[in-house]
Structure 1
C-alpha cells in the first residue's frame, strides 16, 4: 500500500493527468501539472520532513532531566542488588525493575564486507543509543527484532541476534534480552512486553527513532494493558520513550531536494499513514 500512495507515485499521476487536461482545459491542465511538479519537489525536501515531524507525528522530547535522573537512580539500585548478591556468594542473575530495549529497523542478511548479517543504519543508531543509555543509567539493555515481512524468505540471523553480536564485538556490551521473532512494530511490543512481564520487569525504556516513537508508544502501551489483563496479579508495565535521531534544520538547504530529504519524507508519511489507519 505504501509503495502506491507514497511519493513520487501520486505526483507522477498528477503530472500525467495534467498533461492530458492541457488540450481540453488548458488552465486546469497546467494547474494540475504544476501541482504534480511542486509535489515531487517538496516531497524530496528536508523542510517537508521537518514539518511532518513537528506538526503531524509530534514525537516526545529527548530523555533528559528528571526522567533521566530517575532512571539513573533505578540503575544504582540495581547495581546495589547485584553487589549484595555477589557478596552473599549467591549465584543467579538479579531481575531488574527497568529494561532498556531498542527496536529493530531492518538488517542486511549478508553484508559482503563483513561476511555476516549486519544492521541497517536505523537499527545501528538505535542500538548505539540504547547502549549509551545503559552506560549512563547502569540499566541492562536488550534488542527486539526478528525478520521483517519483506525478508521472510531470507537466510541469516535475526535483527536481535545480529544486534547482540554487534553489541559484543564493537561495544563490548552483552545484551540482557534478545527478542528474535517479531516482524513489525506491533509484534515488537507484544513479544517484548510478554518476555519482560515473565521476568517481573516493571518498566521498559523504548529506544527508537523520533519519527517512529509515537507509533511505538501506542502499540507498547496497548501491549502492556493487554498483558496486565491476562495477568491481573502483575502491575501494568510502564512504558518510557527514549527517542533518538531527531531531524534538525539546516537552513536554506532544507528547501532543496536531497536524498536525505526524500528518505525522511517517505518514512514520515509512512508513519502518518500508520497512525491514520491504526496499524
Structure 2
C-alpha cells in the first residue's frame, strides 16, 4: 500500500475530511448523475440510484459494525488477567515507594469550546466516556492517569481565554471535581492522534514509565495504537484498553434502516479508515 504523507496539509484536515466523508461525495455523484441523464439517461440514472443506495447504507448501524469488525479490527477489551497483573505491579511499587513503571493514558476525543450551561469549556461525550473508563481502570489497578489532548485543528482560532482551555486542562478539572480522581499528567499541546502519541510518550518516558495502558474508543484504537507504537519505538510496552464498541442495540432488521446513530457510527468508522490510509 502506498503511504501518503499529508502532514503539510494538517491545518486543512477538518475541511478535507468533511469533503471526503458521506454524504458529500455521494451528493456530488447524484448531481453528476443528474447532469449526465440528459445525454446518457441509463448511466446517469444508475449513478443516481447507486448513490441513493449508498446514502441509505451510510446511515445503517449494521454497516458501521461491519466496517469496525472486518476492516478496522480493533483489539479486544483489556483482559481481567492483564488488569490483575497491573494491579499486582502497582501494589508492589506503592509499598516500596518506587515511581510507577506503568500509567493509564486517556486520549482526548474533543471538547466543547464554551458550554452555555457551564459558562466555560467542557469535554464532549467522546472525551468524557474515555475519561470515565480510564478512571475506572485506575481505581481497579491503582495506576496513575495521564490525559492527552490539546485543541484540535478544527478549533484553532482566536477566542475568549476560557474557551481556549485544552482538552487535558478540562479533563483535569472534571476528574478532580466530579470523579474525585486527580490526574497525574496532562499533555495539553497535541492537535491530533499523531501528536498525542509523540508528546505523551516523551512526557511519560521522562518520568520512567515503561508501560502504557492506552484508553480510547474501539474505532479509534487501531490508528492510536499504531501511532503510540511508532512514537515509543519499542522502548515502551503499549497495552490497548478500548471502549465503546459498536454493538447491536435493536432487532437485526432495524439495523438496516437509516438512523442518526447509524450515520454517526459509519462516519466515525470511515474517518478512521481514511486516517489510517493517509498516516500509515
Q: TM-score, normalised by structure 1?
A: 0.89
The runs of 5 or more residues in structure 1 that have no matched partner are 83-93, 229-235
CA contact (8 A) 1:142 1:175 kept: yes
SS at 2:45 equivalent: helix
Give the 5 Å matches for 1:85-164. 94-153=98-157, 154=159, 155=161, 156-164=164-172
Once the 2 structures are TM-superposed, how far is the Cα of residue 28 of structure 1 from its aligned partner?
2.0
Once the 2 structures are TM-superposed, how far is the Cα of residue 107 of structure 1 from its aligned partner?
0.9
Aligned Cα root-mean-square deviation (Å): 1.4
Query: What residue number does 1:28 align with?
Result: 43
Once the 2 structures are TM-superposed, how far is the Cα of residue 22 of structure 1 from its aligned partner?
2.6
The separation in 1 between residues aligned to 2:113 and 2:178, in whole angstroms, is: 19
Query: What residue number does 1:233 align with?
Result: none
CA contact (8 A) 1:15 1:36 kept: yes
In the TM superposition, structure 1's runs of 4+ consecutive aligned residues that sit over 3 Å from their partners are none
The runs of 5 or more residues in structure 2 that have no matched partner are 1-15
The separation in 2 between residues aligned to 1:182 and 1:149, in whole angstroms, is: 10
The separation in 1 between residues aligned to 2:189 and 2:20, in whole angstroms, is: 29
In our comparison, the structure showing a higher alpha carbon Rg is 1
1:169 is aligned, of 171, 177, 184, to 177
The separation in 2 between residues aligned to 1:77 and 1:183, in whole angstroms, is: 36
Query: What residue number does 2:275 align with?
Result: 274
Give the 5 Å matches for 1:1-279. 1-82=16-97, 94-153=98-157, 154=159, 155=161, 156-225=164-233, 236-250=235-249, 251-278=252-279
1:104-125: CA deviation from partner (whole Å, max 9, x where unpaired): 1111121111112100100000
Deviates more, 1:155-164 or 1:130-139: 155-164
SS at 1:208 equivalent: strand
The separation in 1 between residues aligned to 2:231 and 2:217, in whole angstroms, is: 20
The separation in 2 between residues aligned to 1:81 and 1:243, in whole angstroms, is: 31
The separation in 2 between residues aligned to 1:122 and 1:192, in whole angstroms, is: 19
Number of residue-to-residue matches in the alignment:
259
The separation in 2 between residues aligned to 1:272 and 1:141, in whole angstroms, is: 28
The separation in 1 between residues aligned to 2:108 and 2:247, in whole angstroms, is: 23
The separation in 2 between residues aligned to 1:128 and 1:159, in whole angstroms, is: 14
1:22-62: CA deviation from partner (whole Å, max 9, x where unpaired): 33323222211110100111111111111110111100000
The separation in 1 between residues aligned to 2:18 and 2:186, in whole angstroms, is: 31
